[in-house]
Structure 1
Amino acid sequence: MSKGKVLVVGSNATRIEVQGGGTGATGQYLNETVVPVMAILAAGYDVVLATPDGTRPHIDPVSDAAAHFDGDQAAYEKAKAFYAGDPSMTHVRTLRAVVEEGLGDYAGVFVPGGQGPVVDLMQDGDLGVILRHFHAAAKPTAMLCHGPMAAVAAMPHAREFRAALVAGAPEKAAEWAKDWPYAGYRMTVFSNTEEKVVEDRILHAKLYFNMVDALQAAGGAVETGTVDFDPNVVEDRELITGQNPRSDHPLAARFVAALERARA
């Protein structure tokens, strides 16, 4: 018998704005999606995947490699097969449908990373409704790598906040962040120095804002590790955040433990 349902919120973004005009390819990371989802299922929970438009998340090709599974080719192939064929990954709802059907039966919510959430999820109104529900109910809420940027959606003025960041006006963004439910929470996110590696080696362009700076402007107490790409997980009340792709397993373990505590 299932222990309950966990909502997994995916991104539909395929491009992200870069300075100087134009966009760079982006999406959702394979390992950051399947590693926690497989752990959630193994713990006895059902998974419901939802995205803004109800189609499957776009997997960033950069993440489609054994390197993101510590070089374990078998683990990589298993993850690819899981994402391609498991019903938890192929049956997708819209965020709006999830809201309309009611959120009360969900035990927790998880947002994977990749830069996709920085584009769509952080300013999605339906996700804002979802996150405010889980916050008010103090139900486990996990976000990984760039996933914590989705927490911005819980602001009453998330779109204006993001627009101010893109415009290079962090002070204005901070004004729009008023009444953010996660203000004062300890949290982590993909660090500025980690982001520079992506900008230099993958995007070959600079983003309009860094994730750490954005969450600090919102009022978050952001903590990043001292060594880039080392696992780092921060837990404060119902919110569990992981810093980078290699935080996938430890975040999954902390999230499942929080789900179990909430059942006790």
Structure 2
Amino acid sequence: MRRKILFMVTSAAVIGPKNRPTGSLLTELAHPYEAFKKQGYDIDIYSVKGGEAPIDMVELDDPINSAFLSDDGLTKMKSTESIENLSIAGYDAVFVPGGLGPVADMTDNPPVQQILADFYESGKVVSAVCHGPVSLGNVILKDGSYLVNGKNVTGFSKEEEENYAKEDVPFELEDLLKVHGANYSSVDPWQPYSIADGRLVTGQNPASAQGVAEKVIAILESAGS
């Protein structure tokens, strides 16, 4: 049976007091998408509100980014279903790409949190990269514990945010994860770093998106059919 991956993406096109343009970072969409597609997985893209989902930092000198925009990836981003209409049945994993958008509409979003809790508690793989782990920070499981509590996780670091979007975000992702019990770690700014803790996979920054996808694939393939 073919594996099936859900990309859950932001609908936020701006963030912060100066309405900084944002969305899902293209690299964090395109590289995992290509990795999952190459593996033969089916991929659906749902967004918070449905409709066209915004994309940020369109860097076309990257051939994988260009391929995503000229292939079915862009088509899917232009016409997403809302997570309000989502059933997790049939999916093997969920992936949340970053960009600043998730900070705006996924941090305190009950449907987002319920979907991620349901994925995790159903034995499925939960993954996110860069700012995407904001979606994980407030997820509470049925036993009342935070999903990230006691887990080894990473995400966009305070050091990276200092020179990127500190004035645009209302909190530090690193702090959110730590305050809810995560064993947070990071490497030097902008270097690839991804962690798998059981069925929870996180990546630090855009350079880590490929590594997150590879770890998700490794978990799914090790589980067999």
TM-score under structure 2 length normalisation = 0.90
CA 1:58–1:113 in structure 2 vs 1: closer, same or farther (change >3 Å)? same
Q: Distance in 1 between matches of 2:88 and 2:151?
A: 23
Question: Which whole-Å deviations, capped at 9, do the CAs of 1:109-133 have from their partners, x for residues lacking one?
Answer: 0000001111101222211221111
Q: Flag the 1:84–1:188 CA change in 2: closer, same or farther, 3 A.
A: closer
Give me the whole-angstrom Cα distance separating, in 2, the residues matched to 1:26 and 1:85.
Answer: 16
Checking the alignment, whether the CA contact within 8 Å between 2:31 and 2:65 is kept in structure 1 is: no
- Pairing 1:231–2:192 present: yes
Give the 3 Å change call, closer, same or farther, for CA 76–4 of structure 1 in structure 2: closer
Match of 1:124 among 104, 109, 112: 109
Residue 219 of structure 1 aligns with which residue? Answer: 181
Distance 2:64 2:44 in 1: 23
Q: Please tell me the root mean square deviation across aligned C-alpha atoms, in Å.
A: 2.1
Q: Which residue of 2 aligns with 1:180?
A: 146
CA distance in 2, matches of 1:105, 1:55: 22
Q: Secondary structure at the match of 2:164?
A: helix
Deviation per CA, 1:192-251: give whole Å up to 9, x if none. 111111137xxxx353211101111122111111x2100000111111000000112211
Q: Distance in 2 between matches of 1:90 and 1:47?
A: 15
Equivalent position SS for 1:154: coil
| CA gap 1:206/1:5 in 2 versus in 1, 3 angstroms | closer
Question: Unpaired runs of 5+ in structure 2?
Answer: none
Which residue among 118, 122, 144 is the counterpart of 1:137? 122
Q: Which position in structure 1 is the counterpart of 2:15?
A: 16
Q: CA deviation at 1:181?
A: 2.4
Write the distance in 1 (CA, Å) between the matches of 2:73 and 2:117. Answer: 31
TM-score (norm. length: structure 1): 0.77
Aligned to 1:57: 53
One-letter amino acid of the structure 2 residue matched with residue 65 of structure 1: E
2:211 alignment partner in structure 1: 250
Shift of 1:35: 0.9
Between the aligned partners of 2:74 and 2:191, the Cα distance in structure 1 is 30
Q: CA 1:24 to 1:59, structure 2 compared with 1: closer, same or farther past 3 Å? A: same
Shift of 1:38: 1.6
- Shift of residue 40 of structure 1? 1.0
Structure 1 distance, partners of 2:159, 2:206, is 14
AA at the equivalent of 2:22: T
SS in 1 for 2:55: coil
Query: Are the equivalent residues in 2 in contact too, given 1:138–1:237 (CA < 8 A)?
Result: no
Task: Tell me, in whole angstroms, the C-alpha distance in 2 between the residues paired with 1:83 and 1:242.
Answer: 25
- Give 1:142-181 correspondences, 5 Å limit: 142-155=127-140, 179-181=145-147
Asked whether the 8 Å contact 1:83–1:90 carries over to 2, the reply is no
Contact residue 131 and residue 156 of structure 2 kept, 8 A: yes
Note if 1:114 corresponds to 2:99: yes
**Ranges in structure 1 where 5+ consecutive residues have no aligned partner:** 67-71, 157-177
Distance 2:171 2:124 in 1: 30
Q: Given the alignment of the two structures, is residue 74 of structure 1 paired with residue 59 of structure 2, yes or no?
A: no
Matched with 1:38 is 34
Q: Which residue of 1 aligns with 2:220?
A: 259
